[in-house]
Amino acid sequence: MTIAIGNDHAGITLKFEIIDYLQSKKISVMNLGTDEDISVDYPDYASKVATQILNKKVDLGILICGTGIGMSIAANKFKGIRAANIYDEQTARLAKEHNFANVITFGARTHTKSQVFRLLDVFLDTKFEERHQQRIDKIKEIEG
Ligand code: RB5
């Protein structure tokens, strides 16, 4: 599995912590976020990660900003992206089981590193439930 990760200035520290964590689990990571402590605009990084997913270069995207909200709004503007701002174990599980999210977003200012690692584990260990495919198909219909 390959994961693309993107972040704005709020998410730099958490981004590197997540990269180390994923690599310790033998997951390869494409770092598309900013590494410099200079204010940037989160939609630019949502765009980079969404493009890699839509071009089938990676299996999943992770986006980090202050809250995870801006990144999820921006990523969801891309046709074919299902971005979920996961913030507890239930939303981490349901974002995969029900929504088959292909991008997950985290808030660097709302969650600790260990909380985020736990949410990542729950999301990665959960399977999509086929009974929800019809709803995913209807989202595709809305996208046109
Ligand atoms: C940047 O200060 C902040 O607005 C951004 O990281 C994010 O939280 C937006 O949703």
Q: Could you give the CA distance from residue 109 to residue 68 in angstroms, rounded to a whole number?
A: 9
The pLDDT assigned to 131 comes to 98
The distance between the two most distant Cα atoms of the chain, rounded to a whole number of Å, is 44
pLDDT of residue 30: 98
Q: How many CB atoms lie within 10 A of CB 20?
A: 10
The pLDDT-based confidence of 4 (bands split at 50, 70, 90) is very high
> For position 53, which CATH number holds?
3.40.1400.10
Q: What is the pTM of this model?
A: 0.98
The pLDDT score that the predictor gives to residue 52 is 98
User: Is 46's C-beta closer than 6 angstroms to any atom of ligand 1?
Assistant: no
Q: How many domains does the structure of the chain reveal?
A: 1
Instruction: Confirm or reject: Cβ of 65 under 6 Å from ligand 1.
Output: yes
Domain that holds residue 75: 2-143
Chain-wide mean pLDDT for the chain? 98
The DSSP bridge partners found for residue 85 are 105
Q: What pLDDT score does 66 carry?
A: 98
Q: Tell me the pLDDT band of 129, cut-offs 50, 70 and 90.
A: very high
Residue 98 catalytic?
yes
Q: pLDDT tens-digit profile of 32-86?
A: 999 999 999 999 999 999 999 999 999 999 999 999 999 999 999 999 999 999 9
Q: Please work out whether the CB of residue 120 comes within 6 Å of at least one atom of ligand 1.
A: no
Residue among 32, 1, 28, 2 at smallest CA distance from 15: 32
Percent of the chain with pLDDT strictly greater than 90: 100
Report the share of the chain in percent with pLDDT over 70. 100
